[in-house]
Amino acid sequence: MTATDPLFEQEIDAVVRRFDTGWDTLRGARLFITGGTGYFGRWLLPLLARADETLGLDLQVTALSRAPERFLAEVPDLEKHPSIAFHRGDVRDFEFPAGEFTHVIHAATTAAAATFHRTEDPLTKFDTSYYGTRRTLEFAAERRIGRMLMLSSGSYYGPLLPEYDSYPENYPAAPEPTNLEVSVGHAKRAAEFLCSAFADRHNLSFSTARCFTFLGPHLPLDLHYAAGNFIRDALHGDAITVAGDGTPIRSYMYTGDLMVWLLALLTRGQNGRAYNVGSDEPVTIGDLARRIGHLVAPQKPVRILRQVEGPVTRNVYVPEVRRARTELGLDFWTSLDESILRTAEIAAKTAN
């Protein structure tokens, strides 16, 4: 068993089936994962453990974490799982773990709670991503690791120009260097440069996942994630509250679908190629709140705290994903409504 919640186990089993014959490319693999105990890791580590159990893959996974005990308090079944080990350290300066490795997934970034509570300034956020990526690449180069997946971000791109409805991978504009609110975006641009430079010098093979916005079980409900906050309000509040005017446009990819995409990019992505990862179905924040209310708590009102005054300022964060579709045959299997219902169902059960 790899997850204590039977409903979440069903989600993990569905991803194992969805990746199908792709697992054969990971037989006997030795993976090193940074950022393996964050939200993505809350899916990825149980998924890899489950696949190893059910398919006999002979996987070995080592996850870097500053405090693995906090993660294991939520997922105790992984503490003694034969395919999962933890390596304590900070991504910026960790001691290299012993042993041989075949793959690296570099997912470490600034902590979501630190962003929400503003306990890290922009320079600290930048340093975590930049030096963490450099240290991970030094490890990959020294150990001659054959394949790396770099997790970047849609914040890599600048504001969406009027002639675009979504971000293609060759989008021509970057964030303004004076904009300290997008320090992670600046850091991801630098991190992607580091990957290219190390690959050129050390003959590393890597692909990049530029990740956008996601929704699924175990998404934090009390941080800066609008979908999580709305689900929390639907389950426990008197009303579903939108702090702004509801006009920003976002898109939400189910985290179970995300796992398939990340594994496909790790095993089949073109060397040196960046791929947008996220849903291309736009939805306004106001409509998202109403949709969550309709599905989860139809009796509760939706309150939008700020009214639109004058022209609406365009605020769009939606990827174009043609590259992943055409080159890797990837798609979406879980609708937004299903994503909402599954997330809310497991959140309600966990709260009880």
pLDDT exceeds 50 at position 352: yes
State both tokens at 55: 């398919």
| pLDDT given for residue 114 in this prediction | 54
Rounded Cα gap, residues 233 and 238, in angstroms: 7
Query: Could you report the per-residue pLDDT of 119-164, keeping only the tens digit for each?
Result: 689 999 999 999 999 999 999 999 999 999 999 999 999 999 999 9
Percent of the chain with pLDDT strictly greater than 90: 89
* Domain chopping of the chain, boundaries: 6-217+253-280+318-333
Residue from 126, 233, 259, 138 nearest 190 by CA:
126
Residue type, 170: N
What's the CATH superfamily of 6-217+253-280+318-333? NAD(P)-binding Rossmann-like Domain (3.40.50.720)
pLDDT of residue 348 exceeding 80:
yes
Sign for the CA dihedral angle at 152, 155, 160, 165 comes to positive
Average pLDDT, the chain: 93
pLDDT band at 207 (very low <50, low <70, confident <90, very high): very high
What residues does 150 pair with on adjacent strands? Answer: 106, 208
pLDDT at 205: 98
CA distance 287 to 303: 12
Residue matched to tokens 């022209």:
311
- Sign for the CA dihedral angle at 109, 111, 117, 121 comes to negative
CA distance 322 to 25: 24
11-55 pLDDT tens trace: 999 999 999 999 999 999 999 999 989 999 999 999 999 999 999
Report which DSSP code applies to 345: H
User: What is the DSSP annotation of 269-305?
Assistant: SPTT-EEEES----EEHHHHHHHHHHHH-TTS-EEE-
Instruction: Encode 112-141: b = buried (16+ Cβ within 10 Å), e = exposed.
Output: eeebeeeebebeebbbbbbbbbbbbbebbb
Q: How far apart are CA 270 and CA 268, in angstroms?
A: 6
Q: Is 314 left (phi over 0), alpha (psi -120 to 50) or beta?
A: beta
C-alpha angle with apex 62: 59 to 68, nearest 5 degrees?
135
Q: Per-residue pLDDT tens for 167-184?
A: 999 999 999 999 999 999
C-alpha to C-alpha distances, 240 to 215, 252, 297, nearest whole angstrom: 17, 18, 9
